Chain A
Amino acid sequence: MTTSLTSSRSDLLDVRGLTKVFGSLTACNRVDLTIRQGEIHALLGENGAGKSTLVKMLFGSLEPNDGQIFWKGQPVRIANPSAARSFGIGMVFQHFSLFEALTAAENIALSLDADSPIHSISERARDLSHSYGLPLDPESLVGDLSVGERQRIEIIRCLLQEPDLIILDEPTSVLTPQEADKLFETLERLRDEGKSILYISHRLDEVKRLCDGATVMRHGKVVAHCDPRKETAASLARMMVGADVVTAHSEPIDLSGAPELLGVRDLSRKPAGPFSIPLKNISLSVRSGEVFGIAGVAGNGQGELFEALSGEAIQERAESIQIRGKAVGRMNISQRRMMGAAFVPEERLGHGAAPRMRLSENLLLTRHATDGRALVGRGGVIKTTAVDAASQRVIKEMDVRKSAPDPEAAALSGGNLQKFIIGRELDRQPTVMVVNQPTWGVDAGAAARIRQALIELARSGSAVLVISQDLDELFEISDAIAVMHNGELSKPIPRAQATFEKIGLLMGGAEPGHADHPEVA
């Protein structure tokens, strides 16, 4: 019992038996984690493995139910984020907390406890940004900055507090491959100065390349501590997933002569709100049998494009969107569905599904208008038996795991709900399918199943448009990839000619024709 009260001096952070319970869910179950001085330590795990919960406890935003945290050998209680900062723990969140209408320096000033004058903060920020290779103008408005630049503000804000441990939550999920490389250089420099970094990710190549140690979590438990440099990507994936990882398989297909099913012609859209992205002259064509991928860093107009395609936002020009050769730009979402189109939005809860409604009711959500009189009879009376049967069919077809016969959507895990939402559309054999982020936050098994289903739908003669930030996914399933940047869409690149580098440069905003001379900010 006494041994547990002290900890080795060289360990910066030592976590023992940390447990957090939410209702019936044990998000973290007796988690142990040790981070040494001057180490980049990876925290690996699929979505929902408990990484974020663990980190929130380390940063003081959540209180553990049980367990102990040792900081520099001393047992501590981290009551709140400002306590964490005073210990020397800094954090860069996955979702930034910046005011768009303020400058970078002002945003940094807001988070500092001392009331130092703004120009001195500007100067220190500028110095830091120079010495760590994080180019940033402190006087620029956050609203005008790219996602990568915003992340730099967060990192500099964190560094200004001179932390001993920096926690980075999925930092590369919003970066182009080239921006990510820059970030790695910065992190390595920080490590060489003796700082420790807890690097949260599910991207195995990054972890192998960057990290000195790794802790792998699955279902709230630590399943392995290992040295990622001695593991293969496949062995790391197996630890994360708990089984061999299957990937979807797509045979190349000859699309010459295949008819266009979904066409977009010079689609432009004014920004709907102060910080939404205008769409500029977007054109694309998806043929029967084709999976068309749209890559891009988040927030470059993908959501706006999806709304325009689905009909949630109706267009001024009918010809700007064509389904099966018919101009549908002025039609609403139900009319477009009746043309044979199906849509899966990025947000599952609250957009693709109503959280507090049962699966059967969520089936009706997108099917009430399309299935003739099969689901809704004369006088608008719902045919409950038919709806139940259809929803059970989807559940069986997509192998949706659930705890009750017809649970509320919110009761399902992200992956299972996504399988249901995709299956709900596949069940009616759509001619055109538009999916935004098909496997965002979905576990590997479900993701593979969803990707395979999308490929099969295309090969059966439908047109499938996939918008995704996950390049691996797009390379796995697409026949052609176009890149969205700042509301514009590049020309599609056939998969055979597409490389990560090429796509990455386009994601960073390089001109399609000048990809050889990139200017990565």
Chain B
Amino acid sequence: MRIELVKRPGQSKLFSVLSPLIAFGLTIIAGAILFAVLGKNPATALYTYFIEPLTEVWSVHELMIKAAPLILIAVGLSVCFISNNWNIGAEGQFVMGAIVGSLVPVMFPQFQNAALLPLMLVMGMLGGAAYAFIPAFLKARFNTNEILTSLMLVYIAQLFLDWLVRGPWRDPSAMNFPQAPRFSPAATLPELFPADGRANRGFILAIVAALLVWFMMSRALKGFELRVIGQSPRAGRFAGFSSSGIIFFSFLVSGALAGLAGISEVSGAIGRLQPQISPGYGFAAIIVAFLGRLNPLGIVAAGLVLALSYLGGEAAQIAVGVTDKTVRAFQGMLLFFVLACDTFIRYQIRIVPMAPASAKPVEAARGNG
């Protein structure tokens, strides 16, 4: 007996839309089993994880804080993934965006005016884009595998940040803590509704970015170009589109958006540079991009779901007493189920029995009729 994946003649539109929901449902079921095995009450654990964070205003603000970088990065990644460029290094571009965006407030603390914040955001985007330029150049020029180069550059960026905040950029008044000086109010991303929570305007940036990219992908020639090159590069060249141009474009856009997420995070949510500025947003955003079906509007919804898994994970550590690794486990299961559901939308399973090499008289007779 063997199992075959047989391509379906047509793909169900309904299930294409439902697939992320089914994947989420399966993740919940698998999560319940996980908690039960760990000896926790699955109902309480899941409530703490996925419902409780939504019941209070402050934690909804926290949700937006977590969702903003995920959406920003994932929207950029969708541009890459659609054009068949596998940028796995958004985490590194996020860190570089944070570093370059912080250049002015850290090096020139006396520069304090209305231009400071926009300047920081633009420099953050430039930093992320410049860092993404490296794997793009290597791929376009030397045909290097961008998955490996972009991934390895993540560790370089993280260690560079670590060195900066322990060395040249360390705040002298921070009692030897490895951190850069706190940003001044002029260098801080303002809060959305200061009255009832911490959520900042980074969330607005994320929504605007999602809308712009959605428009580009669905209405503009550039989006068409990205899709053609991603689906059939030879047809793309025949159309007069440049493959290497698309490599640079998609990496620079996703790098800039990751960089914007990075500077928004340190300027808004954290308030200073420190060794750890991301709980793996750059990697979780890969899940967000696929969960959102590489559609910027879907990514907004998917970003909120993933943000919830971070918040729930924090709450569950305290209330249920599970490790923070369960967050990763949940995210992993979610990606697994999304990809599995997508596979079953395109293929069906066929079990082929290993029949003996003998005749089938009934079929033969029917075939002869």
Interface residues, chain A, with chain B CB atoms under 8 Å away? 1, 4-5, 16-19, 22-25, 30, 66-68, 75-77, 79, 310, 312, 332-334, 337, 343, 345, 347, 349-357, 361, 364-366, 368-369, 376, 379-382, 384
For A351, the chain B residues whose CB sits under 8 A away are 232, 234-235, 238
Q: Are A66 and B363 in contact (CB under 8 A)?
A: yes
The reply to whether the CB of B364 lies closer than 8 angstroms to some CB of chain A is yes
Contact A356/B231 with A1-B365, A4-B368, A381-B220 known, Cβ cut-off 8 Å: yes
For B364, the chain A residues whose CB sits under 8 A away are 4-5, 16-17, 67-68, 75
Interface residues, chain B, with chain A CB atoms under 8 Å away? 7-10, 219-222, 224, 227-228, 231-232, 234-240, 355, 357-361, 363-369
Q: Are B367 and A333 in contact (CB under 8 A)?
A: no
12 new A-B contacts at CB < 8 Å, known A334-B240, A376-B221: A24-B9, A24-B10, A67-B367, A79-B357, A312-B238, A333-B237, A333-B240, A352-B235, A354-B231, A361-B224, A364-B224, A381-B221
Partner of A350, one of B219, B235, B363: B235
Partner of B219, one of A365, A368, A382: A382
Name 18 interchain pairs, CB-CB below 8 A, sorted by A. A1-B365, A18-B367, A22-B9, A30-B367, A75-B364, A77-B358, A77-B359, A333-B238, A333-B240, A337-B240, A345-B238, A347-B234, A353-B235, A357-B227, A357-B228, A365-B238, A368-B239, A368-B240
Q: Are B231 and A365 in contact (CB under 8 A)?
A: no
How near does chain B come to A374, taking the closest CB pair, in angstroms?
Answer: 13
Smallest CB-CB separation from B360: which chain A residue?
A68
The residue among A18, A22, A351 with the most chain B CB atoms within 10 A of its own CB is A351
Q: Give the complex CA separation of A209 and B220 in angstroms.
A: 58
Contact A77/B227 with A66-B363, A366-B239, A380-B220 known, Cβ cut-off 8 Å: no
Smallest CB-CB separation from A364: which chain B residue?
B224
Q: Are B368 and A17 in contact (CB under 8 A)?
A: yes
Smallest CB-CB separation from A22: which chain B residue?
B9
Q: Are A357 and B231 in contact (CB under 8 A)?
A: yes
Q: Give the complex CA separation of A1 and B369 in angstroms.
A: 9
For A361, the chain B residues whose CB sits under 8 A away are 224
For B369, the chain A residues whose CB sits under 8 A away are 17
The 10 A-B residue pairs whose C-beta atoms are closest, nearest first, are: A17-B367, A23-B9, A334-B240, A75-B359, A68-B364, A67-B367, A380-B221, A4-B368, A1-B365, A354-B235
For B368, the chain A residues whose CB sits under 8 A away are 4, 16-17, 68
Q: Are A23 and B238 in contact (CB under 8 A)?
A: no
Smallest CB-CB separation from B354: which chain A residue?
A79
For B220, the chain A residues whose CB sits under 8 A away are 379-382
For B236, the chain A residues whose CB sits under 8 A away are 354
Q: Are A355 and B224 in contact (CB under 8 A)?
A: no
Q: Give the complex CA separation of A69 and B359 in angstroms.
A: 9
For A364, the chain B residues whose CB sits under 8 A away are 221, 224
The residue among B222, B355, B357, B359 with the most chain A CB atoms within 10 A of its own CB is B359
How near does chain B come to A424, taking the closest CB pair, in angstroms?
Answer: 12
Q: Are B240 and A369 in contact (CB under 8 A)?
A: yes
Smallest CB-CB separation from A379: which chain B residue?
B220
For A366, the chain B residues whose CB sits under 8 A away are 238-239
Q: Give the complex CA separation of A17 and B365 in angstroms.
A: 9
For A79, the chain B residues whose CB sits under 8 A away are 357
How near does chain A come to B10, taking the closest CB pair, in angstroms?
Answer: 8
Q: Give the complex CA separation of A349 and B234 in angstroms.
A: 10
For B7, the chain A residues whose CB sits under 8 A away are 23
Q: Give the complex CA separation of A382 and B365 in angstroms.
A: 58
Q: Give the complex CA separation of A342 and B358 in angstroms.
A: 57
The residue among A22, A310, A350 with the most chain B CB atoms within 10 A of its own CB is A350
Q: Are B227 and A368 in contact (CB under 8 A)?
A: no
Q: Give the complex CA separation of A18 and B366 in angstroms.
A: 10
Q: Are B234 and A350 in contact (CB under 8 A)?
A: yes
Q: Give the complex CA separation of A380 and B355 in angstroms.
A: 58
Q: Give the complex CA separation of A347 and B367 in angstroms.
A: 37
For B9, the chain A residues whose CB sits under 8 A away are 22-25
Partner of B367, one of A66, A352, A354, A380: A66
How near does chain B come to A157, taking the closest CB pair, in angstroms?
Answer: 26
How near does chain A come to B215, taking the closest CB pair, in angstroms?
Answer: 9
Contact A77/B357 with A352-B235, A366-B238 known, Cβ cut-off 8 Å: yes
Q: Give the complex CA separation of A234 and B220 in angstroms.
A: 51
How near does chain B come to A436, taking the closest CB pair, in angstroms?
Answer: 12
Q: Are B240 and A355 in contact (CB under 8 A)?
A: no
Q: Give the complex CA separation of A24 and B7 in angstroms.
A: 11
Contact A312/B237 with A17-B368, A361-B224, A382-B221 known, Cβ cut-off 8 Å: yes
